Structure formats: C-alpha cells, structure tokens
C-alpha cells in the first residue's frame, strides 16, 4: 500500500520519536494521546528537537516548519480514521494493547495496517484481539527512535505478506534499516542483548569489579561502543527489568531473569540516566 498518513498512538518516549521521524520523512502524522496537554507536550518536544537540528545545520528552517505543519495531535481515536498505517506505542501491557487494537479495528479503514511497537509482548496475541489479524504487524523501533537506525519488522502468525511489505516500505522511506523477523520473544536484538546485559551485571558481583571497570573491560576488550552499565543506565533500569521479566516468563531461561541487584535498584528508584542515578550519577 502507498502510505501517506501515519497515526501514532501514545506520544511518550517512543511514540514522539516515531512521530518525529515520520513527519521529517514527509508523511502526514496524527498522534493520539490520552489528554490534550500530553499531545501538546509531545509536539513541543518534537519542535524542540527539530529546532536543535536547524541550529546544528542538519535541517533548514523551512524543513522544520514543513515537518511541524504535517504533524497534528488528537485525543479522539477516530482522528486516525483515514490513516494508512497506525503505529501503537502505549504502555507495555497486553490488556491495554489488546483493548486499543480492538478499538483501532473499529475506527480505522479496513485496509489500514496496524503496527505495534511492543518490545517483549507477543504481536500475535495483540493481533488476536482483532477480527483482522492479517493486517497486524510489529514495528519495533529502538530508543531514541530519531537516532537509532534499526526497526525490527515483525511477522505475527497471521500477518499478511501485504501488511509486512507495507511496514518494510515505510521503514525504507524513513531512511532506517529494517530487519524482518518472526514473532518470537524479544525478537532479535532483545533476545540476545537482555540476557547478555544480565550476565554483565552478574559478573560485576562475581568478579568484584566496579561499574567503571566492567565498562572499561567491555569497551576495550570486546570493542563495545559503550559499556554495559552505561547502556543499562541509558535504557532505564525499570525498562530493562520489565523486559527481562517478560522474556523470563516466556522462555524460562535463568539468564533472562533480572539479577536481584537490578531489581533492588529499580525498587529504590535508581532508574539510570532518567532519574539522575543508576550505576552512575548524572547531574
């Protein structure tokens, strides 16, 4: 399908980033939030990021203005009625996502493709909330969406070839790198990265090294672009623990389970960069 209008549901960390890349790529974008204030705040954040791009010479003022003019927000789901593709980026809860997809099926055109940005839930289970699961796919962007090139395009059990092709075409027009994959827990990157990061945290205690030393080991010895403690702080310790629990629940592999040290940090509110303190302290 030739996509021109994209709906984004949930304009939090991921949804606002997805809306930004879509409007920058020339799509008309309508974002849906639960309150007008949240929609306005997301629009302001996107405007701020685009202004910074103009200041850095990465965009012209005209491009910024054109991108902002293609972006609207609504609190009313029926505002997505004429979208060709809707990307859902609300809270990571199966019940909330299934309810939303049921509603999306009611308000969207029958040929619209419905995508979820879930990190660790089953796309197939989300699709099963609709009577047209063939048009549901996963489009798993990485955080921050404007900067990270990868999008995993996830084929659920009943996704149609057309729906997958539409998602792949949009990823290409966004200038991102698509990796098509099947609907398996964690897809590709998180399936590998989450247990690996959990091992890194366990090694902290077993080898009795500091976060600084562990990061130095992995950047200098394994060529990682950033150390594991820096990466977990950036992802958010709460987000990482949540994804670990979800993968453990599905795969029952001990390495998937979040290390107690991370759970304790999450419970204490040490969430990493966003809370000012995690393995490191941020000012």
Ligand X SMILES: NC(=O)c1ccc[n+]([C@@H]2O[C@H](COP(=O)([O-])OP(=O)(O)OC[C@H]3O[C@@H](n4cnc5c(N)ncnc54)[C@H](O)[C@@H]3O)[C@@H](O)[C@H]2O)c1
Which residues lie near ligand X (CB under 6 A)?
9-15, 32-34, 38, 89-92, 100, 117-119, 141-143, 235, 239
- β-partners of residue 74 are 32
- β-partners of residue 152 are 140, 179
Cβ of residue 281: shortest distance to ligand X, in angstroms? 21
Cβ of residue 38: shortest distance to ligand X, in angstroms? 5
- Spot the catalytic one: 117, 190, 198, 244: 190
- Spot the catalytic one: 152, 159, 198, 244: 152
For helices 237-251 and 189-206, what crossing angle results, to 10°?
110
- Spot the catalytic one: 24, 140, 198, 240: 140
Cβ of residue 28: shortest distance to ligand X, in angstroms? 18
Q: Are strands 136-141 and 150-155 parallel, antiparallel or unpaired?
A: antiparallel
* Cα 46 from Cα 10, distance rounded (Å): 14
Quick one: DSSP state of residue 136?
A: E
Cβ of residue 52: shortest distance to ligand X, in angstroms? 20
Measured from the CB atom, is 59 or 243 closer to ligand X?
A: 243
**Residue 240 known to be catalytic:** no
Measured from the CB atom, is 136 or 239 closer to ligand X?
A: 239
* Cα 257 from Cα 251, distance rounded (Å): 10
**Interior CA angle at 276 toward 274 and 280, to 5°?**
110
**Residue 119 known to be catalytic:** yes
Cβ of residue 143: shortest distance to ligand X, in angstroms? 3
**Residue 206 known to be catalytic:** no
Asked whether 126 and 157 are in contact (CB, 8 A), the reply is no
> In the complex, which residue's CB is closest to ligand X?
12
Task: Give, in order, the Cα–Cα distances in Å from 202 to each of 16, 176, 247, 260, 283.
Answer: 34, 34, 17, 9, 27
For helices 211-221 and 228-235, what crossing angle results, to 10°?
110
Measured from the CB atom, is 59 or 159 closer to ligand X?
A: 159
**Residue 244 known to be catalytic:** no
Measured from the CB atom, is 118 or 230 closer to ligand X?
A: 118
Measured from the CB atom, is 59 or 101 closer to ligand X?
A: 101
Asked whether 123 and 152 are in contact (CB, 8 A), the reply is no
Phi–psi pair at 129, nearest 5 degrees: -75, -15
Q: Are strands 71-74 and 150-155 parallel, antiparallel or unpaired?
A: unpaired
Determine how many CB atoms are found less than 10 A away from the CB of residue 34. 12
Cβ of residue 99: shortest distance to ligand X, in angstroms? 8
Measured from the CB atom, is 33 or 233 closer to ligand X?
A: 33
- β-partners of residue 151 are 141, 178
The residues annotated as belonging to the active site are 119, 140, 152, 190
């Amino acid at each position: 399908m030739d996509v021109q209008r994209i709906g984004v549901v949930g304009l939090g960390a991921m949804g606002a980033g997805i809306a930004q890349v879509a409007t920058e790529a020339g799509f008309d974008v309508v974002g849906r939030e639960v309150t007008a204030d949240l929609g306005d705040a997301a629009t302001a954040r996107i405007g701020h990021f685009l202004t910074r791009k103009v200041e850095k010479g990465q965009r012209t003022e005209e491009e910024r203005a054109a991108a902002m003019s293609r972006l609207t927000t609504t609190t009313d789901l029926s505002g997505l009625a004429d979208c060709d593709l809707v990307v859902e980026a609300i809270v990571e809860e199966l019940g909330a996502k299934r309810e939303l997809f049921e509603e999306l099926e009611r308000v969207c055109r029958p040929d619209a493709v419905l995508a979820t940005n879930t990190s660790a839930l089953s796309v197939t289970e989300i699709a099963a909330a609709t009577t047209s699961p063939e048009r549901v796919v996963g489009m798993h962007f990485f955080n921050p969406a404007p900067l990270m090139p990868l999008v995993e395009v996830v084929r659920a059990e009943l996704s149609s070839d057309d729906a997958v092709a539409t998602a792949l075409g949009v990823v290409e027009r966004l200038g991102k790198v698509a990796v098509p994959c099947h609907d398996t827990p964690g897809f590709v990157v998180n399936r590998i990265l989450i247990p690996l990061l959990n091992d890194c945290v366990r090694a902290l205690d077993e080898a009795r090294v500091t976060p600084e030393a562990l990061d130095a080991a992995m950047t200098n010895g394994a060529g990682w672009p950033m150390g594991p403690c820096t990466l977990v702080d950036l992802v958010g310790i709460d987000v990482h623990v949540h994804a670990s629990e979800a993968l453990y629940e599905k795969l029952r592999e001990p390495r998937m389970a979040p290390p107690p040290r991370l759970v304790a940090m999450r419970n204490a509110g040490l969430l990493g960069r966003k809370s000012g303190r995690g393995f490191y302290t941020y000012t």
